[in-house]
Structure 1
Amino acid sequence: MTETVNGPTGSSRKAGARKGLSLQRVYTTEGVHPYDAVTWERRDVVQTNWKTGEHVFEQRGVEFPDFWSVNASTIVTTKYFRGAVGTPEREQSLRQLLDRVVLTYTQAGRDHGYFTTEADAEVFEHELTHMLLHQVFSFNSPVWFNVGTSSPQQVSACFILAVDDSMDSILNWYREEGLIFKGGSGAGLNLSRIRSSKELLRSSGGTASGPVSFMRGADASAGTIKSGGATRRAAKMVVLDVDHPDIAEFVATKAREEDKIRVLRDAGYDMDLGGADITSVQYQNANNSIRVNDEFMRAVEDGTEFGLRGRMTGEVIETVDARSLWNDIAEAAWACADPGIQYDGTINDWHTSPEAGRITASNPCSEYMHLDNSSCNLASLNLLKFLKDDGSFDTETFVKAVEFIITAMDISICFADFPTEAIGDTTRAYRQLGIGFANLGALLMASGLAYDSDGGRALAGAITSLMTGTSFRRSAELAGVVGPYDGFAQNASAHERVMRKHQAANDEIRTLHSMDIAVHREAAKQWADNLKIGEKNGWRNSQASVLAPTGTIGFMMDCDTTGIEPDFSLVKFKKLVGGGSMQIVNQTIPAALKKLGYAGETIEAIVEYIAENGHVVDAPGLKTEHYEVFDTAMGQRSIKPMGHVHMMAACQPFLSGAISKTVNLPESASVEEIKDVYFQGWKLGLKALAVYRDNCKVGQPLSDGKEAKSSGDTKVEVKEVIVEKPIRRKMPRSRQAITTSFAVGGAKGYMTSGALEDGSLGEIFLKLGKQGSTLAGMMDAFSIAISISLQYGVPLETFVQKFTNMKFEPAGLTDDPDVRMSQSIMDYTFRRLALDYLDFEARSALGIHSAEERQRYLDTGSHQPTISDGTTAAELISDDVVARERSDREGEARGDDSAVARERSDREDEVRGDAGAKPAPATAHTSAELMEAITGAAVDSPLCMTCGTKMRPAGSCHVCEGCGSTSGCS
């Protein structure tokens, strides 16, 4: 712990006695610079377009510590190194990046009176450098982008704006959002001050437009700025109070647009995220949330009426059935994942500065919630760095690390720039900070604790309490050095009240193990010291902590898990020096097995089983009661939705802000389940909650009811097939067939497909390697059922719609260049059949394209193959080419390498006419390239707009494991 030396107040260093922090070393040794205590090595960072083999980024000889992963060094080099590549100004070493940031912070600390002596400033510099160098924590991305450069010194990632009921304010909203988007950040705001479409204009007596109409303009503005140069979609949050008269229209906006997207997709338009035609629909650049109050939630609970209030008078102008509106909210979230929920009563009950105004909105990811026209800078701790060799949590070092980090974050506000004057004024007056953590899921697993367990929640809650208690205690100490935040005096009683609420919540933690008992004991001490010092000094910061997604910075710290999330899967792909990748079992798993008491040989056997199967079910020697320790967000044993909600509830009472997290539900989830998740979020005291039902976004198969509406041709085709007496077309005795060998997630098999006389598909046979008699019989029965259905006239398109995106193990990477990623053998089978037997237009309507067609889209903006005279390339492919390809596929199944090679070459050359072109060998792909999902398919996460890789959830955003890009959170 540090000491406070008292003296005269001053914002800059002065001669003579003064007050400042006296700092002690934790990680470093006096006289030894942190850089001199590690081994450095030079690496080449080269990123390649997996489709073309073209280098899209290249910087050779960059310098990193030898213990940094290739993935971490690649992301830092491509994202955070400043200066044009190839120029002397370009950063080429992690030392330069860390010095640029740390030295700026240290000098600002000197200038603003944070240190007692120069020696204290050196301790601060060395300790901060060591923690960043050793991946103990990281600042948010804007710090790495901007600090120490010629750019504005923006350090905040989270912004909240404000808009009033006037045209000037609305137009200013568009402008301010544009400035924030231009800088690569996101913002949120509440539109509830704008009068509804059911109210009159004072000037003319006409009817007002309402907030939803103005959302269209803001959405178009965000989309334009994105297309003007940003590498990711604009990130924004739009909030509307539940008692606004236009609430029903707001609830339905994105669900209606999602219906449009499906219709346009089925008509052949490119409606993928970032697609050429997605701009034809509205509201796609924002997350929408309903701000519900306790009055409404009690009305839902009791089944009573609820009043909608006019914006100008506050009087009830309409009543609605609360449960009916609640059902509409859940139905919309079921259909398209929007709107999310923000719980106004809980949010404002924990507000430290209510005299300055209510909290009405949040940032785009919902973790930052504070005053209008304000911002928050973030930093996150890597929790796994505090797990000691003996399995205990290093509370002492954790406390000291938090002290240094909070001090640095507060210093940054002293020199930071802000996108608007109003945001700058509010942030400097209230000094909102957002310390958080990553790798919770990995820490729990390594400690032998299930994520969805009382023990897991107890440890998570205790750590969060310790982090925030220490942060506010340090904030109180800083108030004694450089003064409390400007708005503290008028909010002193409210701030102290919230501190006591946190302390009371800490007293209610039910500890179960020695690990969380020790953490909880230290947390209680920190809260007591915080109140004692705060009563004397006040506090330097109105807010201290949030739980952010930690997307890109999580990769910078080599974290296995992000934010509050559990592990995503048990098997990952690791980048190798020099290119390529290898599949590895998460390194947390052996530590967890050792913690659970397993012997070395058993651990090896279990790890080998996980590597082959991707899950722990039936792993040799693993006790069934330990399965839950290895439950993950996705896969064979996925954590139930309420498991995520309960973990959030365990941490929320110890956070100044909220938690960025989306609760994932299976595709089969009902509207009732979503209502329950949202309702339990209120009951459990969360501040915000979002849900995502698997495959609810574009790309999911259409229901039967909507299928008939997709086109007139489809109607005719169905009527022709569905007759009173079905007629079966028999297969010819001698027929053309294609045999394809495949591997899905490591499981190998063969598929033989036979054609009817007209060349359409008439039968399939599926055989899997190393299968038991039961599975063999099931696959034979399935093949017979599909074959008979095809012969009776059921269109192949119907099967493709129904079976693509079906999820079960084995799943994952395939050896097929056209279908790189598959969610199951069924998913792969029908994608391959679509590519082999459906024409281009039919496949495009289903969002299925070959590797060539996807590359052509990147090059030309169209999947459609064309020749210079306008004739499609498909029309020029002769029957002998098709026959040769089918023959080659049979050769591939027999292991004929020459046929395989010829097929690969021919498939590239048929359309391009390029006889010499060869695709890059599969072994050259990086992990990001291997994980690339099929464009146009129904996916749980969007495809990265930078490198094309399927992203994975990180809080309520998404992050790319390949290049570190995020869908809006830093």
Structure 2
Amino acid sequence: MPESGEQQQSPREGSSSEARESRFESTGHIPGMRFQPVFATSGKDPLDSVIWEQREARMMAPNRAPELITGIEAPGTWSQEAVNALTIFLNEKDRRSFRAVIARVANTITELGRSEDYFRTNEDAEHFNADLQYLLVHQMATFGHSVWMNVGVKNNPQCAQTFINSVNDSVESILDLAKTEGVLFKYGAGSGTNFSSIRSSRETLSDGSKASGPIAFLRGFDAFAGVFNNGRKNRPSAKTAILNADHPDIEAFIDCKADEEKRARALLDAGYNREAGDPYETIAFQNEQHMVRLPDEFMRALERDDRWHTRTVSDGRSGEPVKAKMLMDKIAQAVHLCGNPGIQFDTHINQWHTCSASGRINASSAFSETFFLNDTACMPGQLNLSAFLDKEGNPDTNRLRDAVRIMVTALDILVGHSSYPTENIAENTLRFRPVGLGCANLGSFLLSQGLAYDSDSGRAFAAVLFAIITGQAYLTGTELARACGTFSGYDQNRNAFLRVMEHHLRAVFRIDKTVVSRDLMLLASGIWESVKDEGEKYGFRNAQTTQVSNDVRMAAVMGCSAVGLDPLPNLLRYRRPVGGGMVKYIDSNVRNALTRLSYPEGNIAKIMAYLEEFSRLEGCPDLKESHLGVFDGAVPAPGGKRHVHYMAIIGMIAAVQPFLSGAVAKTVVVPEKTSDETIQQTIV
């Protein structure tokens, strides 16, 4: 529970009765959800479906000696990296038995759901519980670290990880935000905030003195986040600061982080002694990401090579005009130098806003996977896409849909039994109930199908896959609405919500049908037709359902080779035994891909031998040149030149984005020698 002085708000502490009773607001609903056994064998303990062993874990943390943990009860099938990843989330008692931890989390969620009438019968609850445990122990799905740490240990623990905070143009509000972020950072959560409401340094205060402007306060917020980064061993704080393009301080905001980068480089060029400390610890803005918010009006001004007007915060007067091209040039130069600021396209974001009647989307979470209303939190979870293949190696869409249904239900239960750092966040989160189910291992999944990441077929396949996932997530939301009631803000936003569902449905019909199987297309379109029909009748339980995070540790717990939408790093895997050293082996999906591409077994053996010897497939005489793209990784193999181009990653994000509630958290890495002009073209 929160320590003295912290203001964590539980669903029953600091939330309105309207938010607390959202599940009773639908009419004609049928109490409880039905669940049949899908993954676990009925009547058997799902945790007995794996072999348990005594394992060890090596916990690594910056500026700390490695810590060896012994005597951990963990599945023998889990990789060492997966054991390490879950161990770091757990306290000393819990890390002794993963079996007990998985049972604790699943049992607690089930009992909380039972207490809120989520299940039609006790038998339905038991089926849900067994399948949830099966998904977790077989690394098919996972929750965020806060759930592993706290659910079943504390009453109403903080379970959400992505928070969108607000700030107003007052010292009190600014200090309140600092306090809120401190509580979030303590529990390993992240914070995203739009600071455009703070008047600029070009404006005056009520007493006639000059305003400090948001950048001055951001220096303080950055230093505050750094304090928590230095003290945490399991998860550093994450923070994003956003500024609108029409804020009078936008030029200074674009430059501020790049200017600090120049300062650090100047210290190094002058012979700064690294033994005296890291020069980057002496400069500002190293603990937060910066984002610029661009509306369509700015992009049109850029196309016309026109001027762009800023507006004062205090009275909305038009400021001194600047060339839109000049601002974009500054952005590209800063990105080239330090990777910041990122870009958020404001108009497009709000066109896909399910709850626009309740306000605009002004900000994102720290890593920009969650885009929603101010003062809300999102409950994250993930699926391991590679776990949903049938015995022939084909996508098992039935099991995938069942897993989505179970995970969305579990995440929705947690929303109502989590604590939140402020009363506003508690009230708004319960009012809208956003959840964020994501996926990892797309790169591995595409390889298993013999599809090149950088190909029309790869992008179309990913698009239809995420159309199925998000469609099923919203379809589950209609089931939950029928059984437990809609989210309480639904009636006000019904028209906007159904309009966005129509956007998703239309996007399905824009997928390239020439490179995707007819069965998958029919399934995806059928799901979204059902979403539309069922949503019109029963409404929805969750304002948002899906997003793609870049959470490396969530992916590691599931044993994934690639995070989120990333391509595979390469075709080789390296296992780190606890005793030290490194064991190299070939990704199992290489053989699957070769089989899918109709190579005879004799050729497959030769290709695998070549890969084993040279660590690459370039130059392999038994592999068709036209198939090389299937095996391209994110980085060139040793001695090779081929790799997935960064524009292919952007293309994949574009293919999947129409089938997400939120967004894709992804830093696109470009070569150091990339020109400012190319970076600008990449952005737009």
Short-chain TM bin: over 0.9
- The within-5 A match list for 1:751-762 is none
Deviations 1:557-580 (A, max 9, x none): 111111000011222311236543
Q: In 2, Cα distance between the equivalents of 1:411 and 1:617?
A: 49
Note the C-alpha offset of 1:66: 2.5
Partner Cα distance (1:59, 1:377) in 2: 32
| Bigger Cα Rg | 1
Structure 1: how far apart are the matches of 2:130 and 2:161? 25
Instruction: Specify which of 95, 98, 117 is matched with residue 94 of structure 1.
Output: 98
Taking the aligned partners of 1:49 and 1:504, their CA distance within structure 2 comes to: 46
Return closer, same or farther for 1:643/1:91 CA change in 2, 3 Å cut-off: closer
What per-residue deviation string (whole Å, max 9, x for no partner) do you get for residues 753-772 of structure 1?
xxxxxxxxxxxxxxxxxxxx
Alignment of 1:202-601 (within 5 A): 203-229=206-232, 233-269=236-272, 276-513=278-515, 516-576=517-577, 578-601=579-602
Distance 1:154 1:601, change over 3 A: same
Q: How does 1:96-245 map to 2 (within 5 A)?
A: 96-150=100-154, 153-201=157-205, 203-229=206-232, 233-245=236-248
Looking at structure 2, the residues matched to 28 and 224 of structure 1 have their Cα atoms a distance apart, in angstroms, of 45
Give the 3-state SS of the residue equivalent to 2:364 in structure 1. Answer: coil
Distance 2:414 2:244 in 1: 34
Q: 2:88 maps to what in 1?
A: 79
Once the two structures are TM-superposed, the CA of residue 48 in structure 1 deviates from its matched residue by: 8.4
User: Secondary structure of the equivalent of 1:204?
Assistant: coil
SS at match of 2:309: strand
How far, CA to CA, are the matches of 2:274 and 2:350 in structure 1?
Answer: 39
1:154-177 deviation digits (Å, cap 9, x = unpaired): 111101110111111111111111
Say whether the 8 Å CA contact 2:22–2:485 is kept in structure 1: no
- Partner SS for 2:668: strand
The Cα offsets for residues 484-504 of structure 1, whole Å up to 9 and x where unpaired, read as 001111111101110111111
Distance 1:22 1:324, change over 3 A: same
Q: 1:400 offset after TM fit, Å?
A: 1.3
Amino acid of the structure 2 residue aligned with 1:582: V
Residue 585 of structure 1: how far off its partner (Å): 2.1
Q: Aligned pair in 2 of structure 1 residues 91, 229: CA closer, same or farther (>3 Å)?
A: closer
CA distance in 2, matches of 1:228, 1:288: 23
Cα 1:55–1:220 shift into 2, 3 Å: closer
Greater alpha carbon shift after TM alignment, 413-422 vs 284-293: 413-422
Change (3 A) 1:429 1:601: same
Residue 648 (structure 2) aligns with: 643
Cα deviations by residue, 1:157-207 (Å, 9 ceiling, x for unpaired): 101110111111111111111111111111010000111111222x21222
Q: What is the CA distance between 1:422 and its match in structure 2?
A: 1.5
**SS of 2:507's equivalent?**
helix
1:270 positional shift? 6.3
Q: Which amino acid aligns with 2:48?
A: D
Find the counterpart in structure 1 of residue 69 from structure 2. Answer: 58
List gaps (5 residues or longer) in structure 1. Answer: 1-8, 680-970
Query: Distance between the aligned counterparts of 1:162 and 1:568, measured in 2?
Result: 37
Q: How many residues get paired? A: 656
Cα displacement (A) at 1:391: 3.4
**Cα 1:529–1:275 shift into 2, 3 Å:** farther
- 1:70 paired with 2:73, answer no
Amino acid at match of 1:356: S
Per the TM alignment, residue 220 of structure 1 is displaced from its structure 2 partner at its CA by 1.5
Q: In 2, Cα distance between the equivalents of 1:415 and 1:337? A: 38
* SS at 2:321 equivalent: strand
Q: String of CA shifts for 1:774-831, please: whole Å, max 9, x gaps.
A: xxxxxxxxxxxxxxxxxxxxxxxxxxxxxxxxxxxxxxxxxxxxxxxxxxxxxxxxxx
Q: Give the structure 2 partner of residue 949 of structure 1.
A: none
Tell me if the contact between 1:615 and 1:637 (Cα under 8 Å) persists in the aligned partners.
Answer: no
SS across alignment from 1:172: helix
Tell me how far 1:602 sits from its aligned partner. Answer: 2.2
Q: Structure 1 pair 663/44, CA: closer, same or farther in 2 (3 Å)?
A: closer
CA, structure 1 residues 412+442, in 2 after alignment: closer, same or farther (shift >3 Å)? same
Specify the alignment match of 2:679 in structure 1.
674
Q: 1:653 is matched with which residue?
A: 658
Q: Which residue among 37, 49, 54 is the counterpart of 1:42?
A: 54
What's the offset of the Cα at 1:91?
4.1
Distance in 1, Cα, partners of 2:184 & 2:114:
30
Q: Distance in 2 between matches of 1:608 and 1:155?
A: 47
1:671, 1:55 → 2: CA distance?
Answer: 41
Relative to 1, partners in 2 of residues 1:55 and 1:235: Cα closer, same or farther, differing over 3 Å?
A: closer
Question: Are the aligned partners of 1:609 and 1:620 in contact in 2 as well (CA < 8 Å)?
Answer: no
Alignment of 1:650-799 (within 5 A): 650-679=655-684
8 Å CA contact retained: 1:236, 1:286: yes
How far off its partner does 1:605 sit?
2.5
Could you tell me which residue of structure 1 aligns to residue 44 of structure 2? 32
Q: 1:341 to 1:49 in 2, by over 3 A?
A: closer
Distance in 2 of aligned mates of 1:55 and 1:164: 43
Q: 1:574 to 1:228 in 2, by over 3 A?
A: closer
Give the secondary-structure state (helix, strand or coil) at the position aligned to 1:462. Answer: helix
Q: 1:33 is aligned with what amino acid?
A: D
C-alpha displacement of 1:133: 1.1
The one-letter code of the counterpart of 1:528 is E
Asked whether the equivalents of residues 44 and 578 of structure 1 are also in contact (C-alpha less than 8 Å), the reply is: no
Give CA-to-partner distance per residue, 1:811-861, whole Å, 9 cap, x none.
Answer: xxxxxxxxxxxxxxxxxxxxxxxxxxxxxxxxxxxxxxxxxxxxxxxxxxx
Q: TM-score normalised to the size of structure 1? A: 0.65
**One-letter identity of the residue aligned with 2:97:** S
The alpha-carbon deviation at position 313 of structure 1 amounts to 2.0
Calculate percent identity across the aligned residue pairs: 38
CA distance in 2, matches of 1:502, 1:664: 29
Please name the residue that 1:607 is paired with.
Answer: 608
Distance 1:289 1:578, change over 3 A: same
Residues 591-617 of structure 1, C-alpha deviation per residue, up to 9 Å, x if partnerless?
111211222232232223223333221
Question: Would the aligned equivalents of 1:11 and 1:111 in 2 still touch at CA under 8 Å?
Answer: no
Cα deviation code 1:505-559 (max 9, x no counterpart)? 1111113346x43222211111111111111111101001101113111111111
Residues 921-940 of structure 1, C-alpha deviation per residue, up to 9 Å, x if partnerless?
xxxxxxxxxxxxxxxxxxxx
Q: Aligned-pair distance for 1:398? A: 1.2
Q: Are 2:22 and 2:487, in contact at CA under 8 Å, matched by a contact in 1?
A: no
Between the aligned partners of 1:207 and 1:75, the Cα distance in structure 2 is 49
Letter in 1 for 2:55: R
CA contact (8 A) 1:449 1:629 kept: yes
- Deviation at residue 18 of structure 1 after TM alignment: 6.7
Cα shift at 1:51: 12
Tell me if structure 1 keeps the 8 A contact 2:369–2:549. yes
Q: CA deviation at 1:72?
A: 1.5
SS of 2:545's equivalent in the other structure is strand
Please tell me the residue identity of whatever aligns with 1:199.
E
Question: Which letter does structure 1 place at the counterpart of 2:39?
Answer: Y
1:477 to partner: Cα distance: 1.2
CA distance in 1 between counterparts of 2:274 and 2:241 reads 23
- The alignment partner of 1:379 has SS state of strand
